[in-house]
Structure 1
Amino acid sequence: MRRVSQAQKRFDHISDNVIMETYKQSGFNKAETAITLGMSRSTLNIRINDSVELQDMIIDAREEVLDIAESGLLMHVKKGNLNAIKFLLERQGRTRGYGMNVEINNKSTLEALDINEDMTIEEASRMYQDTLVDASMSADDL
């Protein structure tokens, strides 16, 4: 059983909900949260580690932020933002052959595509597919 210090006991009156709200307001910054609540970062970490409910709230809040970010990314994809499209395909389109690393015969080739805002989606896609064909041809030489 862990010994509870006097400093930790001083903060027992602060509820998990207050800690969570302060954590959200700080942008999920533990140091800032601890300062705002008047405790040390280590005391905050102990409170978080001792509360499964607080740990779950933190996980849920981070998932909510990711959902918001994904929604923003999709909005940019729908507007035709080529950087957003490239990012999404590189990260989530790997099962369809998209991504920065093309692996052929256990050799990894990194191709930097020079996609810019002036290109159409078709031009960018054609450039990417040409890169895959070139990589496949060079793999045949192995």
Structure 2
Amino acid sequence: MKNSMVLGALVLMLFSCSLSKEVRQQRKSINGTWILDDVSYAGSEGVFKSILFNDAQAFCFEGSTWYFLENNSTGSYTINSTTGACPAGTRNIRWSVAEDPSGNDRLQFKYIDEKKKDIYGATGYGMEIMSLSDSRMTLQSRVNVDGEAVSVVYNFIKQ
């Protein structure tokens, strides 16, 4: 009887920690190589100069290659620069999809080193999944500029 209760509690705990069917499907769709085709702004008028993910200016990310490996939640993105205006190179990441009660789930990531250890501790970045198919993905992050909400929109194309 006691063993049955322990086994039941273990099974309950296992299922409560598992991913929903929707999140599993999103992870499978995200798995692979993507090109960040366009970075744009919505919600406000004007020209913006922004540093994304505490890394580089927004225009540096256009044409960057993002790689997501579903089975161990790691990946990378690579910024290519021929002008020297952008910090070229590959950044390693650990990523996940988090369920959001508001309806749009979030793709989130943290920087990791080559040994897959977090570089900045609790610091990470999240973007709402606005649309996702096997060939296209649109993500969005919201920021405040002079007290006004502005959305950064990231459009990806799968390779």
Q: Same fold (TM over 0.5)?
A: no
When you count helix as a share of all residues, which structure comes out higher? 1
When you count strand as a share of all residues, which structure comes out higher? 2
Q: TM-score, normalised by structure 1?
A: 0.28
